[in-house]
Amino acid sequence: MTKDTLSNMGGEVKSITSETLKEQIDSGAEVFILDTRSEENFDEWHINGDNVEIVNYPYFQLLEGIPEDLLADLPDEQKITVLCAKGGSSEMVAEQLEDEGYDVNHLEHGMNGWARIYEYTELDVNVDATIAQYQRPSSGCLAYLIASGDEAAVIDPLRAFTDEYVQDVRAIGTELEYALDTHIHADHISGLRTIAEKTDATMVLPEPAANRGVTYDHPYETVSDGDTLSVGEVELEVIHTPGHTTGMTAYMVGNVLFTGDGLFTESVARPDLEDPEAAKNAAETLYESLTEEILTRPDDTIIAPGHFSDSATPNDDGTYTAELGELKETMDALSMDKREFIEFVVSNMPPRPANYEEIIATNLGQQSSDDEEAFELELGPNNCAASEGALTN
């Protein structure tokens, strides 16, 4: 197209919300995205999907107009969604493209807006409780709500979405009894303390996790392997599964096992985020946790992980869970011997999560961040798995 085709006649270019863009992607519609962030930021994280075509062209190369090589990559008959980090630069680029005659909009609030998407889906499981999975598509973080009788618990909550948990618990008609973490997270800021500030919920940490140096201003309780917590009519069993971290702990309700970052539906945990120098020893510990504490359970155990990656395949309802028996059949790592497992895991680790040391310090209570600083720290992918799908056949 050329500049003499159509113009926006001075009008403002249209915007699209992150929620609407996500709906388009989920519906299977063909989506074309022009990402104008730097190549480094794009490579670190961007919007994916089988029906998403995306081109990265940094904004600073577009200050003098739209170059011919970019125009050659843009579709003539398809809407283009332009995005940047926060929404300002993308709007200006979209206006230029509209002047060139393209059908275009820009992503409102950019990738920061994309990181605000948080979705709630109730799991179809045979447990005498309402169990919901929360998904953050931008990072693959998963959290869970368990509601039974007049009590509820949330597992691995994110600070940025505290209000969602509180509102959902009220909508169900229960009171939040517990806010639990499976371990000290390295990819997002935990919501335990903010939930405790807004509700009467008790903060719960695995005892080995607290022993890493937790210094909270608020009181909290610790749990150890074999303990149980009552939530309404159901019991949460505490299962210590170290490897990803020394404090990594799973919780089990009925036949649903919340594995945190120990086992995902497409991979296993990486062992180097607590102590990079001890990754091989941690990988050995992870192998023992998997073979002794998880793989010995019935094949119909529902694995409900703490994250999903682009390599994970969602269920028909969009959730990320899998029966343990299925994972035994499809995940190579779960049939390896110890030596092979250790070597494979430590040789296939992706880059560490962005700002992981600051995030860990914040989650230990050793560093403070306001809400905006905390949100900025955790932008990007989680990268808590040993690999992105390389462990499945």
Active-site residue list: 84
Residues 6+ apart with CB under 8 A from 295: 324, 328, 334
Query: What sign does the CA torsion over 54, 56, 60, 61 have?
Result: negative
Q: Residue 72: name the closest of 55, 50, 88 by CA.
A: 55
Would you state the structure tokens that stand for residue 252, as one six-digit string?
């089990």
Which residue from 33, 45, 26 is spatially nearest to 309, judged by alpha carbons? 45
Contacts of 210 (CB under 8 A, 6+ apart): 220, 222, 247
302, 308, 309, 314 alpha-carbon torsion, rounded to 10°: 60
Cβ(155)–Cβ(259) under 8 Å? Answer: no
Which residues make Cβ contacts (< 8 Å) with residue 282, sequence separation at least 6? 242, 243, 244, 245, 246, 271, 272, 274, 275
Residue type at 186 in one-letter notation: A
